Amino acid sequence: MNAPEQEPDEAALPQRRHDDPVAGPDFGRLAVTPARVFQGRAGTSYRTATMLQLRADHAAARDAVRARLDLEEPRLAPLVSRFEVFELDTRVGSHAEYLRRPDLGRALSPRSRQRLRELGDRGRDVQVVIGDGLSAEAVAAQAPALLPALADACAERGWTFGRPFAVRHCRVGVMNDVGELLDPGVVVLLIGERPGLATAEALSAYLALRPRPGDTDAHRNLVASIHRNGLSTARATERIVALIAAIRAAGASGTAVTEPDELPAGELGPAGAG
All domains of the chain, ordered by start, with CATH? Answer: 66-256 (3.40.50.11240)
Supply the pLDDT for residue 15. 45
| 8-state DSSP, 55 | H
Supply the pLDDT for residue 18. 43
Supply the pLDDT for residue 66. 63
Supply the pLDDT for residue 35. 65
Supply the pLDDT for residue 23. 46
For residue 136, give the H/E element and its range. helix 136-157
Distance CA 170, CA 263 (A): 31
Would you say 242 and 270 are in contact if contact means Cβ atoms under 8 Å apart? no
Supply the pLDDT for residue 60. 63
Distance CA 223, CA 240 (A): 7
Supply the pLDDT for residue 257. 93
Distance CA 188, CA 209 (A): 9
pLDDT per residue as tens digits for the range 86-128: 999 999 999 889 989 999 999 999 999 999 999 999 999 999 9
Sign of CA dihedral 174, 180, 181, 187: positive
Distance CA 94, CA 80 (A): 24
Supply the pLDDT for residue 34. 64
pLDDT per residue as tens digits for the range 170-203: 999 999 999 999 999 999 999 998 766 557 789 9
Spans of the chain, pLDDT less than 50:
8, 10, 12-23, 264-274
Distance CA 123, CA 179 (A): 9
For 25-43, what is the HEC assignment? CCHHHHCCCCCCCCCCCEC
Supply the pLDDT for residue 192. 93
